[in-house]
Amino acid sequence: MSVVGIDLGFQSCYVAVARAGGIETIANEYSDRCTPACVSFGPKNRSVGAAAKSQVISNAKNTVQGFKRFHGRAFSDPFVEAEKSNLAYDIVQLPTGLTGIKVTYMEEERNFTTEQVTAMLLSKLKETAESVLKKPVVDCVVSVPSFYTDAERRSVMDATQIAGLNCLRLMNETTAVALAYGIYKQDLPALEEKPRNVVFVDMGHSAYQVSVCAFNRGKLKVLATAFDTTLGGRKFDEVLVNHFCEEFGKKYKLDIKSKVRALLRLSQECEKLKKLMSANASDLPLSIECFMNDIDVSGTMNRGKFLEMCDDLLARVEPPLRSILDQSKLKKEDIYAVEIVGGATRIPAVKEKISKFFGKELSTTLNADEAVTRGCALQCAILSPAFKVREFSITDVVPYPISLRWNSPAEEVTVKSSPKTMLLLSPKSSPFIERNRSLWRPTIVLLRICPIQILL
């Protein structure tokens, strides 16, 4: 039985496997542990991963990135509408009303579902794992953002089935990080003692997630989770892109945003510049040869000026941190440590904001890029009968409130759904999240305490 954990990221993917010596993050055919979440369609073949990433500029209309955002979302969803301006490829409305991806493949126009494109990526990751393990890979645990709704999670599950994988569990990314942190700790409090509260902060390419977890020996309980679904490294890149579009427009009389390839090249250079500024506070150059109309362009940027332009983004770092403390009824003094993961947490200003909020030094004991996939592999090992893993229980939370309504004029009824969550039932309550209506109806079991008819 295979024991594989897959971190299915917005920009990058990682695969970890469990072996006799422990958990190992494996490398792809390019000897790189990171596989770009990218699929490119050509006239004769299809490329996935690093090979597809190299065609982002040369085959922009048929190279698909960031498709993870469209899982389970209707084409009319405001979130999808907002994303259209950031795409070099076309998206379409499928007969089901969901979002599809339009490309030219084998010299024919084709519409693919998000699940199909994700399955292509998962198949590539599956091949990578099989080449290392030297045996078929079927069972796995796949990560999803903690803010994913039921429809989005079911969409990812469908993608795993198309790829020929048996997904034992979809695991919240912050919970996977918490598992990777806690399972090896030998100094955790005993079960009867006061738990150790640890905050996990994950700011990746496209989203920002935080959670606070209580640890005891052999036990992990997620107390609260919060998120900003659009705050990530990509937003900081966009600040630089917009700045240089304006600067080069005035300096060289270029309309950069009218040319997709030019905008993609500038985006790539701005991402590199952002990473350099994380390690260097002095003025740094940005130069691109033969950028547009055979014109070479150049500019400079420093960390101080960059941070001034990012004030509104940095102001969005604290609210989720404050939210998890409010939800968990904890004080800052109750927090034992703050662990940070995700590429965007390398930005000095982001780290400073988090550290200042909690009033303590941040902990970086986990691998910022690989913590999620290692946690998924550990969860797969726990579920697998082929591996013997120390007992470690995980209690997660549902991030969204669930409300029901019925046709009875009775007074409001409160039903306890968990030790930390109450379901408020009222004739005026809203049904499940309107903007993400699922095609599948969840099953809810209630203890009837009075005659009542519930409409779902």
Token couple for 121: 């990526």
Q: What is d(CA 255, CA 250) in angstroms, rounded to the nearest whole number?
A: 9
Tokens, residue 362: 């941040």
387 near 3, Cβ under 8 Å?
yes
Length of the chain: 456
Q: Extract the tokens encoding 214.
A: 């209580």
Burial of 204 (0-12, 13-18, 19+ CB in 10 A): buried
Distances (CA, A) of 435 to 91, 151, 155, 232, 261: 19, 11, 16, 22, 33
User: Which distant-in-sequence residues (6+ apart) come within 8 Å of 101 by Cβ?
Assistant: 64, 67, 70, 89, 90, 91, 92, 111, 112, 113, 114, 117
How far, in Å, are 30, 73, 74, 312, 382 from residue 81 at the CA level? 36, 11, 10, 22, 40
Amino acid at 221: K
pLDDT of residue 391: 87
To which residue do tokens 């992990």 refer?
A: 220
Beta bridge partners, 157, equal none
Residue 390 has what pLDDT? 84
Nearest to 175 by CA among 210, 208, 127: 210
Let me know if residue 298 belongs to a domain.
Answer: yes
Contact 340, 201 (CB under 8 A): yes
Residue 263 domain-assigned (yes or no): yes
Distance CA 70, CA 65 (A): 11
* Surface-to-core class of residue 57, CB atoms within 10 Å of its CB (0-12 exposed, 13-18 middle, 19+ buried): middle
Is 50 within the bounds of a domain? no
Q: How far apart are CA 313 and CA 235, in angstroms?
A: 8
Q: In which element (H, E) is residue 438 found? A: none
**Residue 89 CB coordination number (10 Å):** 19
Looking at residue 33, the DSSP 8-state letter turns out to be S
CA Rg, the chain, in Å?
Answer: 23
Per-residue pLDDT of the chain (456 residues), as tens digits, is 689 999 999 999 999 998 877 899 999 999 999 999 999 999 999 999 999 999 999 999 999 999 999 999 999 999 999 998 889 999 999 999 999 999 999 999 999 999 999 999 999 999 999 999 999 999 999 999 999 999 999 999 999 999 999 999 999 999 999 999 999 898 999 999 999 999 999 999 999 999 999 999 999 999 999 999 999 999 999 999 999 999 999 999 999 999 999 999 999 999 999 999 999 989 999 999 999 988 999 999 999 999 999 999 999 999 999 999 999 999 999 999 999 999 999 999 999 999 999 999 999 999 999 999 999 999 999 998 888 888 899 999 888 766 555 555 555 544 444 434 434 433 333 344 333 434 444 445 555 555 545 444
Domain total of the chain:
2
Tell me, yes or no, whether 321 lies in a domain. no
Q: Is 16 helix (H, G, I), strand (E, B) or coil?
A: strand
Final residue before a domain boundary, out of 257, 278, 312 = 312
* Structure tokens, 324: 């998890």
Question: What is the dihedral angle through the alpha carbons of 138, 143, 148, 152, rounded to the nearest 10 degrees?
Answer: -20
Assess if residue 412 is contained within a domain. Answer: yes
Cβ atoms within 10 Å, residue 390: 9
Q: Is residue 380 part of a domain?
A: no
Compute the distance between CA of residue 8 and CA of residue 5 in angstroms, rounded to an integer: 10
Q: What is the DSSP string of 93-131?
A: E-TTSBEEEEEEETTEEEEEEHHHHHHHHHHHHHHHHHH
Residue 238's domain is classified under what CATH number? 3.90.640.10
- Residue found under tokens 């070099």: 88
pLDDT of 20: 77
| CB 332, CB 358: distance < 8 Å | yes
**Does a structural domain hold residue 345?**
no
Q: What amino acid positions are annotated as catalytic residues?
A: 7, 68, 173, 202
Please list the alpha-helical segments (H only) found in 163-255: 173-182, 233-252
Run of H or E residues at 30: none
What the block records as the tokens of 264 is 């993609």
Containing domain of residue 449, as a range?
405-455
